[in-house]
């Protein structure tokens, strides 16, 4: 049985991302501030930002970059990110955004997988970026630094070339805009193919629920390289004419200072920040009275925690749900709806159809006339759904069925009112502080250790209720290896969010007759954490 949200379908313009966001800004609004560096206070107006975007597009076109080309962007949240990201799209190329915390090997893997021919980075990340570019076969002259670094072309250099943006024509429904990387429901990271129409659609779908306005001041602490920050900050905030204030990394004191000093009205966060806002004594030392809305995503927000934030800060708290493969938002609690429990992810966005499917039988679960349904896998269909995974037809067909429904891998319920609650995870993916962690990637690393005979990784919970990667390890006969040594071994080889946080030693990894790890059995084991 298909269920939808409470709002009628919205119009989705047949436009590129650049034209949708910037082409129709009234002239009197062009001199409003678009983006501010939270550390320095340096401000860029919409007129200046559009100028920078077009100059970046022109410089790329002068280098032969255009339709069919992929350009990588590896940077924390700084104002220049916005100009380069949208400049890549304006040139007709595809942006693949790279996690700023990735190791050189992880960056190189994404560069090779995406086929990127250029790489933008910042000087503090240049060492890893340069090493990755070399591995991926990208020449030094194709590595651009957003700030300054000796021997490298800078963004200032590109803008100074004063090349006009090219005339580019394409079908927004076919042209690939971005290639973020996601582990999907299982396995190693894969390129998520999102078109201009996908991104435009999700902004249009989200605006009635979580849209800011020209008077809004939005704190951009969520990373732009992540689909959540990309859609709600780089795209949705600009579409509504809001003012973005950037933070390159989360620091609680700096986060609170920026809210106070810049009179922030909207803060998009992930649940770990909500914990600090609810509990940390430092919060009381700052004037946060400007804050009107705190919106949480990327991982489930506990209803009790959300209410504690709302009460302490005297603001509206809402949450939503989505995934990279859905551009990403599919469900949210509208700002105007006080009747929807904060423990839910709200209602379905316009233009999206959903079903709940019994994971055992494949049969549809009915939305009840009253009360709440039994749990089933949430599957969704709409104009925001990805085209598929880059050059991976098998993974695509396993995720998007013949009817166009994307299988989320999350178990949910739906109430008679249409309120959706995520209750469990069918997929193996671990969500640590909003970041995706693929068990298979960590298991492959562990199995590369000479003293480890077998290993499995599952999501477990720490003392704060945060989901963390936990390794179950079988040692080689006679081997001596501690949990700390195992965690250090992995930490040296992965980005910080992928670190193993708990280790348990076990005699044998439970597996099915086909050899698949029985993760459910591992989660039920009561073993000491080492």
Is 261 exposed, middle or buried (CB count within 10 Å of its CB: 0-12, 13-18, 19+)? middle
Omega prior to 254 cis, within 30 of 0: no
- Helices H, strands E: what count in the chain? 16, 28
Please tell me the predicted confidence (pLDDT) of residue 188.
76
Q: How far is CA 122 from its chain centroid? A: 20
Q: Could you tell me the domains of the chain?
A: 17-169 (3.40.50.980), 196-381+401-427 (3.40.50.12780), 430-523 (3.30.300.30)
396-to-25, 50, 313, 360, 405 alpha-carbon distances in Å: 37, 35, 43, 21, 11
Report pLDDT for 185.
60
For residue 513, the model assigns a pLDDT of 47
Residue found under tokens 């504690």:
308
> From edge to edge, which strands make up the β-sheet containing 376-381?
364-365, 353-357, 376-381, 406-414, 420-425
Coarse DSSP helix, strand, coil percentages of the chain, rounded to the nearest 5 percent = 30, 25, 45
Note down pLDDT in tens along the chain; length 530 residues.
Answer: 899 999 999 999 999 999 999 999 999 999 999 999 999 999 999 999 999 999 999 999 999 999 999 999 999 999 999 999 999 999 999 999 999 989 999 999 999 999 999 999 999 999 999 999 999 999 999 999 999 999 999 999 999 999 999 999 999 999 999 999 987 665 678 999 999 999 999 999 999 998 789 999 999 999 999 999 999 999 999 999 999 999 999 999 999 999 999 999 999 998 878 888 998 999 999 999 999 999 998 877 888 889 999 999 999 999 999 999 999 999 999 999 999 999 999 999 999 999 999 988 899 999 999 999 999 999 999 999 999 999 999 999 999 999 999 999 998 999 999 999 988 777 777 888 878 787 878 887 898 898 998 888 999 988 777 889 999 999 988 999 999 999 999 999 999 999 999 999 999 988 754 456 787 788 777 554 44
pLDDT the model gives residue 525: 72
pLDDT at 505: 95
Neighbours of 496 (CB within 10 A): 13
pLDDT of residue 279: 86
84 and 54 Cβ atoms separated by less than 8 Å: no
Check residue 211 and give its pLDDT: 75
**Which residues, 6+ apart, have CB-to-CB distance to 37 below 8 Å?**
43, 78, 79, 246
pLDDT in tens, 257-273: 999 999 999 999 988 78
For 145-178, the pLDDT digits (tens) are 999 999 999 999 999 999 999 999 999 999 999 9
Task: State the average pLDDT for the chain.
Answer: 93
- Structure tokens, 102: 């990735």
DSSP string, 157-186: HHHHT-PPPP-----TTTSEEE--EE-TTS
Contacts of 52 (CB under 8 A, 6+ apart): 44, 83, 87, 159
CB contact at 8 A, 470 and 440: no
């Amino acid at each position: 049985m298909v269920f939808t949200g409470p709002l009628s379908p919205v119009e989705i313009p047949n436009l590129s991302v650049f034209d949708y966001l910037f082409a129709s800004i009234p002239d009197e609004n062009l001199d409003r501030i678009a983006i501010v560096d939270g550390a320095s206070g340096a401000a860029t107006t919409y007129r200046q930002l559009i100028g920078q975007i077009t100059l970046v597009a022109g410089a790329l076109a002068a280098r032969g970059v255009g339709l069919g080309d992929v350009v990588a962007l590896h940077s924390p949240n700084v104002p220049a990110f916005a100009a380069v990201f949208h400049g890549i799209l304006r040139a007709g190329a595809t942006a693949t955004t790279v996690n700023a915390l990735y190791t050189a090997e992880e960056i190189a893997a994404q560069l090779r997988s995406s086929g990127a021919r250029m790489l933008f980075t910042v000087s503090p990340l240049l060492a890893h970026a340069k090493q990755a570019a070399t591995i991926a076969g990208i020449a030094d002259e194709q590595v651009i630094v957003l700030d300054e670094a000796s021997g490298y072309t800078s963004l200032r250099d590109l803008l100074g070339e004063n090349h006009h943006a090219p005339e580019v024509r394409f079908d927004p429904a076919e042209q690939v805009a971005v290639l973020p990387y996601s582990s999907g429901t299982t396995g190693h990271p894969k390129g998520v193919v999102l078109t201009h129409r996908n991104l435009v659609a999700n902004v249009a779908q989200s605006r009635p629920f979580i849209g800011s306005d020209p008077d809004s001041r939005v704190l951009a602490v969520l990373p732009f390289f992540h689909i959540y920050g990309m859609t709600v900050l780089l795209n949705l905030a600009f579409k509504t004419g809001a003012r973005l204030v950037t933070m390159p990394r989360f620091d609680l004191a700096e986060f609170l200072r920026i809210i106070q000093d810049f009179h922030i009205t909207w803060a998009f966060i992930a649940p770990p920040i909500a914990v600090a806002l609810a509990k940390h004594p430092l919060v009381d030392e700052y004037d946060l009275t400007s804050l009107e809305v705190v919106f949480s995503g990327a991982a489930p927000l506990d209803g009790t925690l959300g209410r504690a934030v709302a009460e302490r800060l005297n603001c509206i708290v809402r949450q939503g749900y989505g995934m990279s493969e859905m551009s990403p938002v599919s469900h949210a609690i509208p700002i105007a709806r006080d009747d929807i429990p904060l423990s839910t992810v709200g209602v379905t966005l316009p233009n999206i159809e959903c079903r709940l499917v019994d994971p055992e039988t494949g049969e549809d679960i009915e939305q009840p006339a009253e009360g709440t349904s039994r749990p089933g896998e949430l599957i969704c269909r709409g104009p925001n759904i990805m085209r598929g995974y880059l050059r991976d037809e098998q993974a695509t067909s396993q995720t998007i069925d013949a009817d166009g429904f994307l299988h989320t891998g999350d178990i949910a319920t739906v109430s008679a009112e249409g309120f959706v609650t995520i209750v469990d995870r069918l997929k193996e993916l671990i969500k640590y502080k909003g970041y995706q962690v693929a068990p298979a990637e960590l298991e492959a690393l562990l199995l590369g250790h000479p003293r480890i005979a077998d290993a499995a990784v599952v999501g477990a919970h720490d003392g704060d209720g945060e989901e963390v990667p936990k390794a179950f390890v079988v040692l080689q006969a006679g081997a001596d290896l501690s949990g700390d040594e195992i965690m250090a071994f992995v930490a040296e080889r992965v980005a910080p969010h992928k670190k193993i946080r708990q280790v348990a030693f076990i005699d044998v990894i439970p597996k099915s007759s086909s050899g698949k790890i029985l993760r459910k059995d591992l989660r039920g084991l009561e073993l000491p954490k080492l």
